[in-house]
Amino acid sequence: MRIGSPRIECRNGRARLIAEIRIGEGDVRPLWFEVEEKYGQYLCAERSDAFLIGLLNFAQREWLDIVCEAPVSAQLLYQIRTYLIPSLARNSKAMHETRIEAPMDDAPMANAGGVGTGISCGVDSLHVVKNYAHSPYPGLSLTHLCLNNVGAYIEGKGQYTWQAEHARQFAKEMGIELIVSNSNMAAAFQQNHLLTHTYSSCFAIYALQKLWKVYFYASAGYDLQEAFSLRDNERHSSDHYELLSLDCFSTRTLQIYSEGMAITRFEKERELADWPPAQKYLHVCTMDTGPNCGHCSKCLRTLTALDALGCLQRFDNVFDVLAYQARRARNLGWLYGQHIGADGDAMTEPVYDALKDEIPLGQKLHAIAREGYIRLAKIEWLRRRVHPILERLRGRKRL
């Protein structure tokens, strides 16, 4: 893989950082990151840093080496070569120990001293804003919020448009400047966003390298002791090893922190329970309809957590609390299913511990039966025999 020298193009009030990415002989893909033209002064075309970070995991998965035409920050290249790549490759048979060929630049990259974070208005991003809108630590108060379209949103579904307007309203109320960006990262290099989001997000951070002094990357909220792992890293979310990757992506002029890494999602929710902006703007939904749907896995995970904290009514501006309460028994059954399921959500365990005595027996039995069916369905020969019988029984029931 050859990363061409980045350049900046301005048109129609937008500024775009772009580089040609060549894979082999005939595969050439322009990769770009775009912001309003007034932020164009912060785009970094002098170095390949953003593109190297953004494509690193892709290269390791595709067993590609990387050649950069423009320089890479020397400290960044040292850390990626010496610590990150070997650690990932040696703990996974599927990850290539990618070699990087690039000129180096050791001069400090001047920046505007900005302090930023992403703002999806989910639990993790709101936790950052609550703690750092007015930080007690000098130089760590937020100057900018960012909404970066680098893979989390489904193209053509209207998610990003709704999310951008929601973020604008929140930023205006908080009195913090908002940067809304766009990129073709997800289209040009199709990857599983869950497995690679740290890289694509840091691509966006480094594209605006001349702005940032500090960037708070919201941690996912897993229990650190249980979640941190490099083993078989190609199969797990990149947030499982962010303590390593974000340290490798930080330099003496740009520090990236995994904010909230030391606490769980449930602890974050407890901290946000009394914060009015969270009660007004919290948005966790995975559906593409805009507001929280109340029944997807992330909505249920959050609603049951708020239920366990005894603060559901405070969030009736963002959730249909009455609908949740009407289906509370079934929702608690879903929580029990997460607890016993082989693929259950580990983030629900503290919530289950708080609500386990309130889960109806009937819902527990239903969840046990469902989990048993799921496990049996994974046995191919048994699934071929049992599934048709169940389908016939369902058909008779409908009649």
- Write the pLDDT tens digit of every residue in 338-377: 999 988 898 999 999 999 999 999 999 999 988 887 776 6
Q: Is the pTM of this model over 0.85?
A: yes
Q: Is the pLDDT of residue 235 over 60?
A: yes
Contact 113, 278 (CB under 8 A): no
Q: State the pairing for strand pair 27-36/14-23.
A: antiparallel
pLDDT of 179-234, one tens digit each?
A: 999 999 999 999 999 899 999 999 999 999 999 999 999 998 887 777 789 999 99
Contact 359, 334 (CB under 8 A): no
Give the up-direction half-sphere exposure of residue 330: CA atoms within 13 A in the CB hemisphere: 7
Cα 358–Cα 363–Cα 368 angle in degrees, nearest 5: 120
What are the DSSP E strand ranges found in the chain? Answer: 2-3, 7-11, 14-23, 27-36, 66-68, 72-73, 100-101, 104-105, 114-118, 144-147, 177-180, 182-183, 212-218, 255-259
Averaged pLDDT score across all residues of the chain: 93
Average pLDDT over residues 242-253: 97
Q: Is the pLDDT of residue 247 over 80?
A: yes
Q: Give one DSSP letter per residue of 351-366, joined into a string.
A: HHHHHGGGS-HHHHHH
Contact 34, 15 (CB under 8 A): yes
Q: Is the pLDDT of residue 157 over 70?
A: no
Query: In this prediction, what percent of the chain has a pLDDT beyond 70?
Result: 93
How high is the pLDDT of residue 226?
Answer: 73
Give the up-direction half-sphere exposure of residue 146: CA atoms within 13 A in the CB hemisphere: 29
pLDDT of 5-41, one tens digit each?
A: 999 999 999 999 999 999 988 899 999 999 999 999 9
- As to burial, measured by CB atoms within 10 angstroms (0-12 exposed, 13-18 middle, 19+ buried), residue 17 is buried
φ, ψ dihedrals at 112, nearest 5° = -85, 5
How high is the pLDDT of residue 252?
Answer: 97
How high is the pLDDT of residue 143?
Answer: 98
Q: Kindly state the tokens that stand for 313.
A: 């009514």
Q: Kindly state the tokens that stand for 66.
A: 């990387």
Per the listing, tokens 């490759």 go with 89
- As to burial, measured by CB atoms within 10 angstroms (0-12 exposed, 13-18 middle, 19+ buried), residue 381 is exposed
Q: Is the pLDDT of residue 98 over 80?
A: yes
Cα 149 to Cα 180: distance, rounded to the nearest angstrom: 8
Q: Kindly state the tokens that stand for 325.
A: 């309460």
Contact 16, 208 (CB under 8 A): no
Question: Helix, strand, coil shares of the chain as percentages rounded to 5?
Answer: 50, 15, 35
How high is the pLDDT of residue 75?
Answer: 98
For residues 388 and 140, the model is more confident at 140
Numbers of helices and strands, H then E, in the chain = 17, 14
How high is the pLDDT of residue 158?
Answer: 63
Q: Where are the domains of the chain?
A: 2-259, 292-399
Cα 70 to Cα 49: distance, rounded to the nearest angstrom: 9
How high is the pLDDT of residue 187?
Answer: 93
Contact 21, 3 (CB under 8 A): yes
